[in-house]
Amino acid sequence: MTRAERAFRVHVPATSANLGPGFDTLGIALAYGDELVVATRPEPGATVTVIGVGEGEVDTDERNLVVRSAAFVFERLGREMPGLNIEARNRIPHGRGMGSSGSAIVSGVMIAAGLLASDPENPLELSEAQIFAFATELEGHPDNVAPALFGGLTIAWTNEQGPRFKRLLVHRGVAPLVLVPTFTMSTEHARSLQPKQVPHEDAVFNVSRSALLIAALTQSPELLLEATEDRLHQNYRGAAMPETRDLIGALRERGHAAVVSGAGPSILVMSNGPAERLAAADLVAEIAPEWQILTLAVDIKGATVEEIPVDSAFSSRG
């Protein structure tokens, strides 16, 4: 081993975007994520070992989204990326609306940030704004990468300077529940189902509910059911995922604040306390037992990267 070899542990949480009315703007980080161990090597290129979700399915070389995202940062900065060995322990379901692609992108950007900051010859510390800008450019929109990077509830927008975000603390009474089906949904297909224009009254409706949702999530969780009403995107996508549409309808009829998680087909239920969340979970177990029920917390840390001893990087590999 050379002195230049380094190793890191990266953790990135799952996310749920939109949250009902906050299309392409609001997102929340969930305490359920992917963990990667990364070590540099003398040889160029990259080798990815995937354990868990995506094992045997995703690319395990330089075509892997994590590697491509890290390489993108190095290329933009005019730096040469070292060879990498990566072990990815994945938990975030793919194609289910829980931010798996955003998590992979954020993982790659965080790997690049760790490598650049620890470069023994020419260290470079990336700013929070730079990291966010790189991840947003790769993902195409900031609503998933903002909570993945920074945790909590995030409001994301763009201006002439680039992507911006505001992180807020979620009220401790908010109890998230994620319902994961066996089927998937393409984000591109989901977006294609939406019209380019919506009625004026629907736009006003969503503006009011988005504002109310911020209050509900940060101060008044008893308002979550009304605050998660939406007329902008969920109805248009319903025909493409009828199981999701019908389960959301059943939950909302019983007073539970259920929405499509991201582009779907998973469902996010934001309950006012553990008792209400348990009631929602019991209802799902009764009427849709094929759905996986994840009882989660809000992740308040966001993405993390820590340097670890090279010799112990893959000591847990079996």
Pairwise CA distance, residues 264 & 245, whole Å: 10
Structural domain of 154: 7-167+300-310
Write the pLDDT tens digit of every residue in 52-69: 999 999 999 999 999 999
Q: Is the pLDDT of residue 280 over 60?
A: yes
Residue 311 has pLDDT above 60, yes or no: yes
Say if residue 181 carries a ligand binding annotation: no
The answer to whether residues 149 and 214 belong to one domain is no
Residue 153 belongs to what H/E stretch? strand 153-159
Residue 185 in marked binding region: no
Phi, psi of 147 (to 5 degrees): -70, -30
85 occurs within a structural domain: yes
pLDDT the model gives residue 2: 44
Q: 304 and 256: one domain?
A: no
Q: Please give the model's pTM, rounded to 2 decimal places.
A: 0.93
Residues 163 and 182 in one domain: no
- Secondary structure of residue 156 in the 3-state scheme: strand
Q: Is residue 162 part of a domain?
A: yes
**How confident is the model at residue 235, as a pLDDT?**
82
**Is 110 annotated as contributing to ligand binding?**
no
User: Tens digit of pLDDT for each residue in 175-232?
Assistant: 999 999 999 876 666 566 666 778 888 889 999 999 999 999 999 999 999 999 998 8
Assess whether pLDDT exceeds 90 at residue 88.
yes
102 is in an annotated binding site: yes
Q: Is 142 annotated as a binding residue?
A: no
Same domain, 276 and 210: yes
Distances (CA, A) of 114 to 107, 253, 271: 11, 47, 37
pLDDT for the residue 110: 98
For residue 210, say whether it is annotated as part of any ligand binding site.
no
Quick check: 250 pLDDT over 90? yes
pLDDT in tens, 181-190: 999 876 666 5
317 part of a folded domain: no
Per-residue pLDDT at 3: 45
Domain for residue 2, yes or no?
no
Please name the residue that has the structure tokens 């322990």.
89
Residue 93 belongs to a domain:
yes
* Residue 103 annotated as binding site: yes
- What pLDDT sits at residue 4? 65
CB 183 within 8 A of CB 243: yes
Domain holding 195: CATH number?
3.30.70.890
The tokens for 184 are 């998937």
Specify whether 268 is located in the same domain as 205: yes
Q: Tell me, yes or no, whether 158 lies in a domain.
A: yes
- With a cut of 70, say whether residue 167 has pLDDT above it: yes
Indicate whether 61 and 81 sit together in one domain. yes
Statement to judge: residues 251 and 188 lie in one domain = yes
- Residue 125 sits in the same domain as residue 212: no
The answer to whether 271 is annotated as binding is: no
Q: Confirm whether residue 191 is marked as ligand binding.
A: no
Q: Name every residue whose Cβ is closer than 8 Å to that of residue 214 and which is 6 or more positions away in sequence.
A: 26, 153, 155, 168
Instruction: Give the pLDDT score at 240.
Output: 85
User: What pLDDT digit, counting tens, does each position of 92-128 carry?
Assistant: 999 999 999 999 999 999 999 999 999 999 999 999 9
Same-domain status, 148 and 194? no
- Consult the annotation and say whether 81 binds a ligand: no
Q: Are residues 11 and 56 in the same domain?
A: yes
Quick one: 200 and 255 in the same domain?
yes
- To the question of whether residue 238 is assigned a binding role by annotation, the answer is no
Output the CA torsion sign for 253, 254, 256, 261: negative
The tens digit of pLDDT for each residue in 115-163 reads 999 999 999 999 999 999 999 999 999 999 999 999 999 999 999 999 9
Ramachandran region of residue 31, left (φ > 0), alpha (ψ -120 to 50) or beta? Answer: beta
How many independent structural domains does the chain possess? 2
